Amino acid sequence: MKLFKIMSLFCCLTFSLKAQQGRAFEFWSSQGISQRLDYGLELSLESEERISTGKGEAFRNEQVTPSLIWHYSPRYDFQIGYEGEFDWDAEGKLEVGHRGVATATVKVPFGKWNLLSRQRFDAGEMAGKTVSDFRHMLRLESELFSKRWVPFISDEWFLDLVGARLAENRAQIGVLYRWNRAWESELYAMRRDLLEKESENSSYGMILGVNLRMKF
Is 19 a domain residue? no
Range of the domain at 153: 2-8+26-215
pLDDT of residue 158: 97
What per-residue confidence (pLDDT) applies to 56?
Answer: 55
Question: Does residue 18 form part of some domain?
Answer: no
- Residue 79 resides in a domain: yes
Q: Report if residue 15 sits inside a domain.
A: no
Whole-number pLDDT of residue 16: 42
pLDDT at 209: 97
Higher pLDDT, 197 or 100: 100
> Is the model more confident about 2 or about 78?
78
Q: What band does 204 get if pLDDT is binned at 50, 70 and 90? A: confident
Q: What are phi and psi of 42, to 5 degrees?
A: -150, 130
Inside any domain, residue 17: no
In the prediction, which pLDDT does 31 show? Answer: 98
The CATH number of the domain holding residue 134 is 2.40.128.140
Instruction: Give the pLDDT of residue 200.
Output: 56
Per the prediction, the chain carries an average pLDDT of: 88
Whether the predicted pLDDT of 169 surpasses 60: yes
Provide the pLDDT confidence category of residue 58 given band limits of 50, 70 and 90: low
Is pLDDT larger for residue 93 or for residue 199? 93
Whether the pLDDT of residue 155 is over 90: the answer is yes
When divided into structural domains, the chain yields a total of 1
Say if residues 196 and 167 touch (Cβ distance below 8 Å): no
Supply the pLDDT for residue 131.
96
Q: What is the pLDDT of residue 65?
A: 98
Q: pLDDT tens-digit profile of 88-145?
A: 887 778 999 999 999 999 999 999 999 999 999 999 999 899 999 999 999 999 999 8
pTM of the model: 0.85
113 within domain boundaries: yes
Name which residue leads in pLDDT, 93 or 174.
174
